[in-house]
Structure 1
Amino acid sequence: MSNFIPYIIPLLLLPLFLYFISFLRRKSSGNLPPGSNGYPIIGENMAFVLSGPQKFIKDRMEKYSPEAFQTSLLGETMAIFCGPQGNKFLFMNDNKLFTSWWPKSLKKALLSPAYSDRDLKELTAVRHTFHHEILKPEALKQYIPVMDALAREHLDQFWKPNSVVKVFPLAKRYTFDLVCRLFLSLVDQNEIKRLSDPFSLVVGGIFSLPLDLPGMAYNSAVKGGKMVREELMRIIRERRKEMMEKKEMEGRDLLSKMLLVRYENGEYLSEVEISNNIIGLLVASFETTSSAVTAVINYLAELPHIYEEVFKEQMNIAKSKGPDEHLTWEDIEKMKYSWNMVRESLRLMPPAQGAFSEAITEFTYAGFTIPRGWKAFWNVHSSHKNPKYFPEPEKFDPSRFEGRGPPPYSFVPFGGGPRMCPGKEYARLEVLVFMHNVVKRFKLEKTIPSEKIVFQNSPTPVHGLPVHLYPHEK
């Protein structure tokens, strides 16, 4: 036993040493935001998951500070910025005081191993270039007929009159099929399934406890990520070969456009770089959009008076179209009440919770010192249900968005300022097109009126939101 004493004593003293180092750092860093770092290693991750992000943030704003507080999440010391002022500060100081940041566990699950330690700014540089290309108005207008056609196909296949459907899994299928069709020109369901099945493993485990051990959700996410990358690499190589044989000079979709890009030295983007950027787009356009679609259908099925207003607006548009005529940009612009209804759905059930950044220099905010290297998080939950900005915050009221709408930076489902999500317009079109096709065909009724919504990566109905579909009387 005595042989083990030299090894046991350092282990017993290690927590005390770490606490002492942490204490010295706190003393040297001025007036840090109040808060708690929770338990060693796991921090406050369990409290965040068990209470849900809304309650977690609300409780700590009341206990510590309504401006900012500190916590420990994902193995990092983190400052949570609160309210419209906190949101604005983070948005307006992007690339000045902050840089974008992803947890290492997230990069490990999503990206090629050779890139998991790279700076996020370097990894997303190519994607930002293509965001401009694929999300500019000219491109978006071309997507609307494709969205409309796919929505009709999807409803024909899965949404049968006088049946009960589970909205959440079907919304995920629709949004994934759409991004595969628009960006990769994939229409074969077997091909799409080879991407969607492992991608579901990724989405289901990337924000779980990052233990890469058999049986853990994170281990499944890592395996799923590897399978997604392998399938994407196969698709990319096949497309490159096809383009070389046909000497295609103009890309027909996002993938082809990426294959034609060259750096200043004349080299093309590597297949791994293209795969990494497509995965980033899949993550951004899949989970949050399917959650937004689910939230909208939830409130349409729950609130008949809201449904009736949306129905009237959408039928006025439908009556102006021929039976085989697809929606256009001009039709979308007429959906004023419907868009306000969507925004109110996103206020009450926001698909994205916020975004992470890293402080690149020490600075002061609201009298608190934020040290260099700390992670920061802007969030929707400190303002979306705050009665100061939204009177009767639990009431569903689309009229909040009429006129000038809510105060700046209080409604932030897509971020704001320079940090505004570049896919906001894409999501708006996708949700409105899908809504149009659903209400044109059906009246909706929830089969579980008080179905619980839990937080996973985004708000998730426990039973998948089963809804009864009633066809309109002719």
Structure 2
Amino acid sequence: MDYLSLCPLVVLLLCLVILALRKIFKIMIQDQEKSTAGIPPGSHGFPVIGETLQFMLSVNSGKGFYEFVRSRRIRYGSCFRTSLFGETHVFLSTTESARAVLNNESGMFTKRYIKSIAALVGDRSLLCASQHHHKILRSRFINLFSKKSTALMVRHFDELVVDALSGWEHRGTVVLLTDLLQITFKAMCKMLISLENEEELGSLQRDVGFVCEAMLAFPLNLPWTRFHKGIMARGRVMDALEKIIRDRRNETSSHNNNNNNHEDFLQQLLAVDNDSSASSSDHSTKLTDSEIKDNILTMIIAGQDTTASALTWMVKYLGENPKVLNILIEKQTQIAKQASDKPFLELDDLTEMTYASKMVKESLRMASVVPWFPRLVLQDCEMEGYKINKGWNINIDARSIHLDPNVYSEPHKFNPSRFDEEAKANSFLAFGMGGRTCLGLNMAKAMMVVFLHRFITTYRWRSKHREVDIICKIEEWISDSCVT
């Protein structure tokens, strides 16, 4: 057959294909216009994957994953939608939305994290539990964060900080976040499971580090991926915790009471579960080993990672605001004189540190270490004038609220004194709000104030990008009224 005779046929086929494609695209556009009527503005990106690639690029960029949210909020406003990991996500950034979603008085929302986080911390974790399961878990864990436990943590954490700082004076330059991760990790392991063996701590911290690195990775469980490494590390952490629980039960059942003097969260949980005098209702909510392990891992991550990050931001802000630093040094030095007869701080000492507490609060506001709070929509509803469909994910954008000039005057200015007065309702979300408010908020704030006090009254320093350059140790800080 002559090739020239095929040309008209090819042209005809091409025309038919083009017409068919135009028709298909026209129908798709019309359907999309109908389906998006009344819903939040935004983009679903590519089919199936949505804007996941853009999100992952932000995660791995120098600006961090929040840049993905910030750029879209600027483009679309306080309420926008996107598609991540195959699901629709809506971001909201008003105090009214925060109150409605986080207080959840209507019962229309429940907690839900993206797949990678849920797989790594476990579906029995407080972070990922359903609304009913969460209430049961919370009722069991809330007693762990008593005033007595907080007082014990203050003492242990202060001891760790004093020991760590004593080694800084000869090092010249300290990478603050790295050292703080070490301190907070040791503190959490001491508080939760009484783990102090350096070799075991090092092994456990490496694996927890792999888990943290994988939490925002693409959930592709193949050998070369970060997500796979995180999943494998989680398995090793679970094995280690299983052995600790088994050994602890063996100690408890033995007649050697000298081994049963642990003052940690695990001991409290096992003591209640083994208490034969406990009521039937207590035993009906007895925690399984899987629930204990998932939540110990969750508390290690939360107590180590977020606290160390918050402290690093806090030192950065102090380095950039010498007036605030000088006020803080003066006030903390006076408190140090009053407590000079005690080797370590006590919980009552922290009540005197009012300016330091405001300093912590302002640092948490500006840094927004937990930038948004995710929830799953259980039934169709309306938020900020837009339709929100059942099954969508809705996220309260805490960082945008914290930096909203309509909520905070001069929001980008570091000013602890703004908390001389109560913040506007539903505007301070560092620890969440409502029924899922962070259980350890008082303990976390206490740890930050303890570190701040010791750091300020022990060293003169200057910020050096992401590092802290230790200039000199104050040998006689008790006798100084102010250090500049």
TM-score by length of 2: 0.82
1:56 aligns with 2:68: yes
Equivalent residues of 1:84, 1:408 under 8 A apart:
yes
Q: Paired residue for 1:468, among 435, 451, 470?
A: 470
1:132 aligns with 2:150: no
- CA distance, structure 2, for counterparts of residue 386 and residue 161 of structure 1: 43
* Partner-residue secondary structure (3-state), 1:96: coil
Which deviates further from its counterpart, 222-231 or 100-109? 100-109
- CA distance, structure 1, for counterparts of residue 24 and residue 241 of structure 2: 46
* Partner-residue secondary structure (3-state), 2:408: coil
Q: CA deviation at 1:190?
A: 1.5
1:192-341 correspondence to structure 2 within 5 Å: 192-246=201-255, 252-262=263-273, 264=281, 266=283, 269-341=287-359
Give 1:9's aligned residue.
none
- CA distance, structure 2, for counterparts of residue 250 and residue 18 of structure 1: 71
How big is each residue's C-alpha offset from its partner over 1:314-361, in whole Å with a ceiling of 9 and x where there is no partner?
Answer: 111111123543212221111111121222222221211122110111
Give 1:143's aligned residue.
153
Give 1:84's aligned residue.
95
Q: Structure 1 residues 135, 17: closer, same or farther in 2, change over 3 A?
A: farther
How big is each residue's C-alpha offset from its partner over 1:268-297, in whole Å with a ceiling of 9 and x where there is no partner?
Answer: 533222211211222222211111111112
- CA distance, structure 2, for counterparts of residue 102 and residue 401 of structure 1: 31
Q: Structure 1 residues 419, 121: closer, same or farther in 2, change over 3 A?
A: closer
Give 2:450's aligned residue.
433
How big is each residue's C-alpha offset from its partner over 1:80-120, in whole Å with a ceiling of 9 and x where there is no partner?
Answer: 111212211211216711011122322222338x999x954
Q: Paired residue for 1:34, among 36, 41, 54?
A: 41
Q: Structure 1 residues 54, 163: closer, same or farther in 2, change over 3 A?
A: same
Q: Paired residue for 2:437, among 389, 408, 420?
A: 420
Equivalent residues of 2:116, 2:217 under 8 A apart:
no
- CA distance, structure 2, for counterparts of residue 290 and residue 115 of structure 1: 21
Aligned-pair identity (%)? 26
- CA distance, structure 2, for counterparts of residue 240 and residue 321 of structure 1: 40
Q: Structure 1 residues 129, 24: closer, same or farther in 2, change over 3 A?
A: farther
- CA distance, structure 1, for counterparts of residue 314 and residue 343 of structure 2: 25
Equivalent residues of 1:414, 1:421 under 8 A apart:
yes
Q: Structure 1 residues 161, 342: closer, same or farther in 2, change over 3 A?
A: farther
When Rg is computed on C-alpha atoms for both structures, the one with the higher figure is 2
1:186-197 correspondence to structure 2 within 5 Å: 186-197=195-206
- CA distance, structure 2, for counterparts of residue 357 and residue 241 of structure 1: 40
Q: CA deviation at 1:365?
A: 1.6
- CA distance, structure 2, for counterparts of residue 137 and residue 266 of structure 1: 25
- CA distance, structure 2, for counterparts of residue 19 and residue 342 of structure 1: 55
Q: CA deviation at 1:121?
A: 4.0
Give 1:343's aligned residue.
361
Equivalent residues of 1:360, 1:373 under 8 A apart:
yes
Equivalent residues of 2:173, 2:468 under 8 A apart:
yes
Give 2:16's aligned residue.
none
Aligned length: 440
Equivalent residues of 1:26, 1:32 under 8 A apart:
no
Q: Quick one: which amino acid aligns to residue 202 of structure 2?
A: K
Q: Structure 1 residues 134, 265: closer, same or farther in 2, change over 3 A?
A: closer
1:103 aligns with 2:114: yes
Q: Quick one: which amino acid aligns to residue 468 of structure 1?
A: I
Equivalent residues of 1:293, 1:431 under 8 A apart:
yes
1:57-76 correspondence to structure 2 within 5 Å: 57-66=69-78, 68-76=79-87
- CA distance, structure 2, for counterparts of residue 193 and residue 19 of structure 1: 59
How big is each residue's C-alpha offset from its partner over 1:26-65, in whole Å with a ceiling of 9 and x where there is no partner?
Answer: 8468621111112234322343425645543343334323
Gaps of 5+ in 1: 1-12, 449-460
Q: Quick one: which amino acid aligns to residue 91 of structure 2?
A: I
How big is each residue's C-alpha offset from its partner over 1:340-399, in whole Å with a ceiling of 9 and x where there is no partner?
Answer: 122222222121112211011111122211111111111222222222223333222112
1:102-181 correspondence to structure 2 within 5 Å: 102-111=113-122, 120-121=130-131, 124-125=134-135, 127-157=137-167, 159-161=168-170, 163-181=172-190
Q: Structure 1 residues 387, 91: closer, same or farther in 2, change over 3 A?
A: same
* Partner-residue secondary structure (3-state), 1:418: helix
Q: Structure 1 residues 313, 194: closer, same or farther in 2, change over 3 A?
A: same
Give 1:185's aligned residue.
194
Q: Structure 1 residues 423, 18: closer, same or farther in 2, change over 3 A?
A: farther
Q: Quick one: which amino acid aligns to residue 188 of structure 1?
A: N
Give 1:378's aligned residue.
396
Q: Structure 1 residues 351, 246: closer, same or farther in 2, change over 3 A?
A: farther
- CA distance, structure 2, for counterparts of residue 19 and residue 193 of structure 1: 59
How big is each residue's C-alpha offset from its partner over 1:176-217, in whole Å with a ceiling of 9 and x where there is no partner?
Answer: 100111111112211212211100000011111222222222
Report the aligned-residue RMSD.
3.1
TM-score by length of 1: 0.84
Which deviates further from its counterpart, 232-241 or 30-39? 30-39
Q: CA deviation at 1:299?
A: 2.0
Equivalent residues of 2:125, 2:295 under 8 A apart:
no
Q: Quick one: which amino acid aligns to residue 198 of structure 1?
A: D
Equivalent residues of 2:104, 2:434 under 8 A apart:
no
- CA distance, structure 2, for counterparts of residue 382 and residue 95 of structure 1: 24
Give 1:8's aligned residue.
none
How big is each residue's C-alpha offset from its partner over 1:129-149, in whole Å with a ceiling of 9 and x where there is no partner?
Answer: 243112122322232212211
